[in-house]
Chain A
Amino acid sequence: MPDLADLYQQVIIEHNRSPRNYRVLPDANRTAEGDNPLCGDRLTLYLKVNGDTIEDVGFQGRGCAISQASASLMTAAVQGKRVAEAQALFDAVHAMLTGSGTPDPGRLGKLAALAGVRQFPARVKCASLSWHTLRAALEGRAARVTTDDPRT
């Protein structure tokens, strides 16, 4: 039986209550919108990318605790990272959420708190929305990311 305590870890509850980087970046040069029409989760992600470095990151959105905490954790994890590192994090988180690979706990750090989501298949899209939005922003895709998109 899946365990609620694995899903709603203290880190998740806390990031949902006080999301990090919850702001519009006026000087953002990459933005993307994420939308899960099925449950109404949505967020706008702002990145300031200088060369190959993510100098600043912010987001605003609304949705369930998993979606908001995941977005908050994501922004904290990619702040100051190189684009290639952020993309590698996307791959690692995606593997963790879908069980399609072996996650590397050393690389994931606090993001490991999202591991419990895997036991709740109905909630995986909540956790992955912000990450797909990150990838779209990094790739400069202007279109809105939705969880109904086959690419996600």
Chain B
Amino acid sequence: MSFTVRKDPKGVVVIGVDGQLIVGNRHELKQKVVDAIEVGERKVLIDFTNTGYIDSSGLGALVSLSKKLRDAGGELRLAGLNEDLRTLFELTKLDTLFTIADSADAALASF
């Protein structure tokens, strides 16, 4: 499990989640977003293309980070959720809280 961080030419910070976003690593993701906010970044995209599973604490971390970015005048968007992960967002109605794109490229095109 690991996270990759890159900056898109448009200025969007793209964080890739490789493996899972769960209770054991959610703090690491939170710290990466907090670090980005502290250096002035305001647009963050989390790419789940290589993510197999998100647990409820991972969903909770995304909710917290979205609020944190919004409070700072920015926005968190999501991309690349597989069918099962989409189901989790739909069941919990978090699909109404986030802008979710099919792929990172699609998300970046409209961010």
Q: Do A and B interact with each other, yes or no?
A: no
Interface residues of A (CB under 8 A from B): none
